[in-house]
Structure 1
Amino acid sequence: MIFKDFSENELYLFMNGKLIYKRWLDTGVSKVFDVMAYDKYTLASIKEPRNENGLLIVKARIKLTPTENGGRKSGIISGYRPNHVFKYTPEGKLCQTYIGDINFEGENVMPGEERIATVRFLLVKELEQYLTKGRKWWLHEGPNIIGDAEVL
């Protein structure tokens, strides 16, 4: 059972009576309290205050999956934050997702298109091993793969 509650400036999300997510509406900062709630293993929020050393920044080629192949119906804009997946279990389940925002110049990137972008990840020690030139990863919205990326 999922329950939402609002105060003056805060959104709370409860699952089975347990607080799992909080968002401060004026700043956009959010915090995940129960990382196992949605089978999503994200450990922090990209909007949490951090210094410049708190981010891993890479150039990447982003390609969105065409709509007819199960991709999004609409494009994405600069600042979009999908789940980034570098590894799956042998059964095909996500091992871990990472938070990173995609930033590019110009118009929206539409399904089926590709664009060079800057991707900023929250600094998570395990993530560094994946960010080598030529490494590919997948972009997810929940369980759906909506594109892929490659470190340039």
Structure 2
Amino acid sequence: MAALDHPKNELHLYINNKLVYKRRLDTDELEIFNSAAYEKYRLASQEELLAVNGMLIVKAKIKLKLTSTENGGRKTGIISGYRPNHVFEYTSEGKLQRTYIGDINFEGEELMPGEETIATVRLHLTKQVEKYLTKGRKWWLYEVPNLIGEAEIL
């Protein structure tokens, strides 16, 4: 997979450096370029996807806001490449449903607690995480067990 210059509101899936499909985050419109590879991706298990394909790059504007130190966030800032746990859902008891692994990349030296920025997020490729990637979707960033920030697809 490669991060290329694509419109900021599209999700692009590359397998072996070939574009398999793209999905518009604002309309959910899907365009498939390689139906055999898309079906293999759609029907594969999470373990197969992680072993073969690597990372899902969200080429969307992500608004990232760190929780202030006073509200339980970090005491220090983060730098581009930071790898928190990404949480999209909680159980009915308020516990973390599942965490996803990914990194956050942004311009500038450091993002301090209480600040926000526009960033690109790379998540480990799983079918389970793709369903959450829609315009306006918010999720939470953890240094388990601490909530340290939130992100939103603009």
TM-score range (shorter-chain normalised) is: 0.5 to 0.7
**Mapped partners of 1:136, 1:151: distance in 2:** 7
After TM superposition, give the deviation of residue 50 of structure 1 in Å.
6.2
Between 1 and 2, higher relative CO (CA 8 Å, sep ≥ 6) is seen in 2
Unaligned runs of 5+ in 1: 1-42
Distance 2:108 2:101 in 1: 23
Provide the residue aligned with 2:78 in structure 1: 76
Q: Aligned equivalents of 1:50 and 1:57: distance in 2?
A: 18
Secondary structure of 1:130 counterpart: coil
Question: Counting helix residues as a fraction of each chain, which structure ranks higher?
Answer: 2
Tell me the TM-score normalized by structure 1.
0.65
Percent sequence identity over matched residues?
68
Q: 1:80 to 1:50 in 2, by over 3 A?
A: farther
For the structure 1 residues 54 and 77, does the alpha-carbon distance in structure 2 shift closer, same or farther, using more than 3 Å as the test? closer
Pair 1:57-2:48 in alignment: no
Against the structure 1 CA distance between its residues 123 and 91, is the aligned structure 2 distance closer, same or farther, given a 3 Å change threshold? same
Aligned CA-pair RMSD: 2.0
Provide the residue aligned with 1:136 in structure 2: 138
Q: Does the Cα contact within 8 Å between 1:58 and 1:151 map onto a contact in 2? A: no
Residues 50 and 104 of structure 1: CA distance in aligned 2, closer, same or farther (over 3 Å): farther
Q: Counterpart amino acid of 2:85?
A: N
What's the counterpart of residue 39 of structure 1?
none
Count of aligned pairs between the two proteins? 106
TM-score by length of 2: 0.64
Distance, in Å, in 2 between the alignment partners of 1:106 and 1:63 is: 14
3-state secondary structure, aligned to 1:126: helix
Counterpart in 1 of 2:107?
105
Alpha-carbon distance between aligned partners in 1 of 2:94 and 2:105, rounded to the nearest angstrom: 29
Q: Which runs of 4+ in 1 moved over 6 A?
A: none
